[in-house]
Amino acid sequence: SEQRFLVDNTVLRASTPGLGYRKSMSLDDKDGNHASPWGWHVTGELVGDQWLLTSKGLYLPVFLSGCRVLKLVGDDILVVKNGAEQLGTTSVG
């Protein structure tokens, strides 16, 4: 079933504007046209624990360079401040 994830750059700290979609479950198979901006939410279905098959039919990696870049929304509390969602972590790890 589909779940919602936060595209998270807090650990990776990439200089890119977002997380690039892949056409398959290979980091090298970049779509080249689409990326999900950091801080946005994406929906999709996990394939194993390494990949998310998005509702677009493209893949996003759960980890990049050993850093988790997709966080399941619900593991953490999202606090709405001034109309913007901010992440408040409730657990360690």
Q: What is the pLDDT of residues 48-79, one digit of tens each?
A: 999 999 988 999 999 999 999 999 997 545 44
Dihedrals φ, ψ of 53, to 5°?
-90, 110
Q: What is the pTM of this model?
A: 0.77
Our CA angle for 41, 48, 88, nearest 5°, is 35
Q: What is the pLDDT of residues 13-50, one digit of tens each?
A: 999 999 999 999 999 999 988 999 999 999 999 999 99
Q: If you search the block for the tokens 């779940």, which residue do you land on?
A: 3
